[in-house]
Structure 1
Amino acid sequence: MYRQPSGQLKIEDFVLPFEGKLNSENRWVKLSKLIPWEEIEKNYAQLFPSNTGTEAKSLRIALGALIIKEKCGYSDRETVEQIKENPYLQYFIGFDRYQDDKDPFDPSLMVHFRKRLDKDTMMAINEMICQYEKHPVQAVEEGKNKEPKDPQDPGEPPVSGGGQEDRSKTTEPTHKGKLLLDATCAPADVRYPTDLSLLNEAREKTEAIIDALYHGNLGLKKKPRTYRKKARKHYLTIAKQRKPQTKAIRKAIGKQLGYVGRNLKTIDYLLSLEGHGRLNRRQSQHLETIRTLYQQQRTMYTLKIHQIDDRIVSISQPHIRPIVRGKAKASTEFGAKVAISMVDGYMVVDELSWDPFNESVNFQQAVEGYKKRFGYYPEAVLADQIYRNRDNRAYCKKHGIRLSGPALGRPKAGEAKRAERLEIQDMSERNAVEGGFGVGKRRYGLGRIMARLKETAESVIMLQFIVMNLEHRLRVLFYPFYIFVLRRLQGLLKQPISVLS
């Protein structure tokens, strides 16, 4: 059952057990005003169609707690403790009074919050936060610039000579602003996977599964052998070498494949017996993953190749895939690939996938999304070389959009220097999206996703962009104040010394 909160919580309504009141200039108070809680609540309430059962936590508690966790880098348990001790955090998640006698909720609920606020829901929330920059502000500016209407005016536009309507003043712009496109990888918290280490881990897990399935009442004379000591000795012989030779690695992989294959046959035999031991949910999931991993590794070993479709690189997180990025630090990363659009410092996720994809395919979708949000096409799209294929160039030419980078063919006479200057300017402006990725990976948790489930990891990735957009929005709000202070200081410094004294 879900009970939707009524009305927007005001800071004046928050009750403290001691004298005083909350400071309206606090960062959490300001941050709470930037989130459209009521609009999000309407969609969130649809996840609970039944009016029976235990009452669920409100959207503000769920989303607010997740934002606090990602913004401050807390663990789930530490997040609950911080909320319990801080009245500003309690106001941020929607409490109407300060309460420190009990925990606001159990820390285990944070996992359920991440599951309920899935990738699609988080994308919609991020869109709501980003769209404030254009629609409300644009409406206010249009209202200011609009002249008062004559009561006797029937509302028709003036007619010029020839009987044609003069719509020059009412025509809306068809191209405005710049769209920045790029993609990155959000690495998962896994060790660098090698074929030998994966097979060794699979062998150890199959040995534990055999231990769980076997017991003395199955009617067997003795427990099936696993050769675990011998297998581990063979693995450590190669793992401890600093730079093992290729032939030695291949030989060790072949041995581990033999041990894993033998264990899988033993598991199938034990499962065919009546009264065998039971596996828990995690062991059952690992067993299915190991079967697929064994088939992949056996195929690559037989064909002497190092690539295969849907390659598993983690037994505990089988959804992770290798993402080839070609970076100097690491040519291959292991996690989710994210394609984003940036407009005026706000980042919108266009696609989030665990499988590698070519980001240039999403080019036209991103441009059409820009038009859907703002009502017009961008004046220019700033993207790197992978986006500049012939299809995207033809699309931009059709819609009158300038695509960054050098044009195809020989430049016209007298335009080479201008095109070079424009290219340099586009590269400098496109650094904003690269800087956004850097901030997300160093300052926030985008550089290492700690969530282990596929659904919760996607929710965490989306939360990183939501938090970064909220931080950018806070900076935009404070920007006019900073400009005002700087101008005042500049004006005072220009005055004579006697006036300042």
Structure 2
Amino acid sequence: MYRKEEQPNRALEEFKLPFEGKLAEDNRWVIMAQWVPWSEFEAEYAELFSSVMGAPAKTFRMALGALIIKEKLGISDRETVEQIKENPYLQYFIGLSEYSNSPPFDASMLVHFRTRISAKLVNKVNQVMVKRMREATTEPSAENQSESEEVSERKNRGKLIADATCAPADITYPTDLKILNQAREQTEKIIDTLHKNRTNKSEKKPRTYRKIARKNYLEVAKQRQPSRKKRRKAIKRQRQYIKRNLGHIDQLIADGATLSCLNNSQYKTLLVISEVSRQQQWMFDNNKQSISDRIVSLSQPHIRPIVRGKAGTPVEFGAKLSASCVDEYVFLDRISWDNFNESTDLKTQIEAFKEYTGHYPESVHVDKIYRTRDNRAWCKERGIRISGPPLGRPPANISKSTKKQALEDEKIRNSIEGKFGQGKRRFSLNRIMTKLAHTSETAIAITFLVMNLEAILRQIFWSIFQFNYFFRVIDYHKLFVKSLTRRKLIYHSYSIS
């Protein structure tokens, strides 16, 4: 059940502290709370709950605010609850009316928050928040209204920067031998569970040869660089153990053991192991190293290998992201657990830019993979200049203006690379700790939301610094004029005497 609050956006003065005083208006959490559109998406979040049945759910501001705090501070779920309990600014940020020493919710609730708040909803919040900030900073005044009218007559305005990256998941580096060993151990646990719940208790438990299988695995796994023949032989042995164990599981089910005695995790793992066994059998028979929809993790079967070709990490295991950057704000355009060609997203990103701003961009700054003939022709029809040299043989003599333009385009394109670096170094984009596919997508979308909040804070603090610096310069100028006038008066009195 969801209960809508009467005042979702409380004023700063209404927050009650156990001691005298009030919250500072220039605190970062107070400023961020003013820019996040809590109330606009509360109705969409409330549709997930019943208005009659169930216990009262946490508000949208509390749910999204807790996820933002976790990502902003880079802490765990339990530490997030502890920080909220100790900090009145964080309690104001999540919408509480007064300070409380008790935690507002249990740490396990953050899992439900990530499940309920989808990545699509987070992207909507991100777009509305950035749009508010851009309108506030680019609002035309009465003096330069004529200039803004001239600019509005142009067809294309602004710059769009697009690129793709990968958000690696928190898994060990997968190898065929390691995955098969894990699958064998899981089948042995499933056999133990089914044997305890079989109807005929007098029959002996099937032999699994687990000690011998473990020894065979360690003989090759402990070697630094085993030969291809040894690895192939070890893979064959582990596959045979798994095949025998799956046969024992079928026999136990035929003897009266039901799959209902397995929990959800074991049942899901059994289905994944069956697919892993099929994939490994096909690759072994055909002497191949890859297969479509290859499973690289038993606990997270949605993860796929993403071939990036980067130095040091040519293959990454996680979600591939397609993102765009507009005026130092970054937007998440696409998340996929399968590898894709990001050049196919350029048209969609440009159309989204037009829907968001009301006009096409003047220029698009992308890397080489986006500069296909189809994308170039499509951009040319709409008067959009795409960065990079034209197709074909380069001219013998390149003008200085062309070189300068190419250098300027690369400098502009570096901003989205910096955003990816910020997300992976400062925030959690370099290692997604969530285990489910939809919760991982939400965690990735929250990272982009927090990065834009950081950009908003930077602009606000920079404007405050410029404002203070301006008046400080005026004060220094007054002091200088006073001292200069005083010196002139002294010199004039000496000359008279």
TM-score after normalising by structure 2 = 0.92
Structure 2 distance, partners of 1:169, 1:84, is: 53
In structure 2, give the amino acid aligned to 1:132: R
Distance 1:315 1:387, change over 3 A: same
Q: Does 1:465 align with 2:448?
A: yes
Shift in Å, 1:133: 3.5
Structure 2 distance, partners of 1:56, 1:221, is: 50
Q: Does 1:262 align with 2:244?
A: yes
| Contact kept? 1:345, 1:472, Cα under 8 Å | yes
**Unpaired segments ≥5 residues, structure 2:** 487-497
Shift in Å, 1:482: 2.5
Shift in Å, 1:416: 3.3
Per-residue CA deviations over 1:97-123 (Å, capped at 9, x if unaligned) read: 1111x2211111111000000121111
Q: Matched residue of 1:218: which SS?
A: coil
Shift in Å, 1:409: 3.4
Partner of residue 141, structure 1: 140
Partner of residue 161, structure 2: 180
Structure 1 distance, partners of 2:48, 2:251, is: 44
Structure 1 distance, partners of 2:142, 2:277, is: 66
Q: Does 1:198 align with 2:197?
A: no
Shift in Å, 1:223: 1.3
Shift in Å, 1:418: 1.9
Deviates more, 1:480-489 or 1:264-273: 480-489
Shift in Å, 1:51: 2.6
Partner of residue 9, structure 1: 10
Partner of residue 47, structure 2: 46
CA RMSD of aligned residues (A): 2.2
Per-residue CA deviations over 1:317-354 (Å, capped at 9, x if unaligned) read: 00000011111121000000110000111111110111
Deviates more, 1:409-418 or 1:123-132: 409-418
Partner of residue 401, structure 2: 418
Structure 2 distance, partners of 1:214, 1:144, is: 83
Structure 1 distance, partners of 2:73, 2:447, is: 11
Structure 2 distance, partners of 1:137, 1:439, is: 23
Partner of residue 352, structure 2: 369
Partner of residue 37, structure 1: 38
Structure 2 distance, partners of 1:365, 1:206, is: 45
| Contact kept? 2:195, 2:257, Cα under 8 Å | no
Partner of residue 272, structure 1: 254
Structure 2 distance, partners of 1:35, 1:276, is: 50
Partner of residue 430, structure 1: 413
Shift in Å, 1:410: 5.1
Structure 2 distance, partners of 1:29, 1:274, is: 62
Structure 1 distance, partners of 2:15, 2:119, is: 32
Superposition pairs for residues 323-472 of structure 1, below 5 Å? 323-409=306-392, 416-472=399-455
Partner of residue 60, structure 1: 61
Structure 2 distance, partners of 1:415, 1:205, is: 63
Partner of residue 155, structure 1: none
Partner of residue 165, structure 1: none
| Contact kept? 2:78, 2:107, Cα under 8 Å | yes
Distance 1:53 1:193, change over 3 A: same
| Contact kept? 1:73, 1:445, Cα under 8 Å | yes
| Contact kept? 2:3, 2:51, Cα under 8 Å | no
Q: Does 1:131 align with 2:114?
A: no
Structure 2 distance, partners of 1:174, 1:341, is: 21
Partner of residue 298, structure 1: 281
Structure 2 distance, partners of 1:219, 1:481, is: 77
Distance 1:13 1:490, change over 3 A: closer
| Contact kept? 1:83, 1:90, Cα under 8 Å | yes
**Unpaired segments ≥5 residues, structure 1:** 148-167
Shift in Å, 1:26: 1.1
Per-residue CA deviations over 1:210-267 (Å, capped at 9, x if unaligned) read: 0110037525532111011111111000001011111111111111111111111111
Shift in Å, 1:440: 0.7
Shift in Å, 1:132: 1.9
Shift in Å, 1:28: 0.8
Equivalent residue in structure 2 for 1:320, among 277, 289, 303: 303
Distance 1:49 1:222, change over 3 A: closer
Q: Matched residue of 1:29: which SS?
A: helix
| Aligned positions, number | 479
Q: Matched residue of 1:241: which SS?
A: coil
| Contact kept? 2:194, 2:257, Cα under 8 Å | no
Superposition pairs for residues 151-190 of structure 1, below 5 Å? 172-190=153-171
Q: Matched residue of 1:429: which SS?
A: helix
In structure 2, give the amino acid aligned to 1:264: L
Structure 2 distance, partners of 1:379, 1:448, is: 35
Per-residue CA deviations over 1:370-410 (Å, capped at 9, x if unaligned) read: 01010111111000000000110001110010101001235
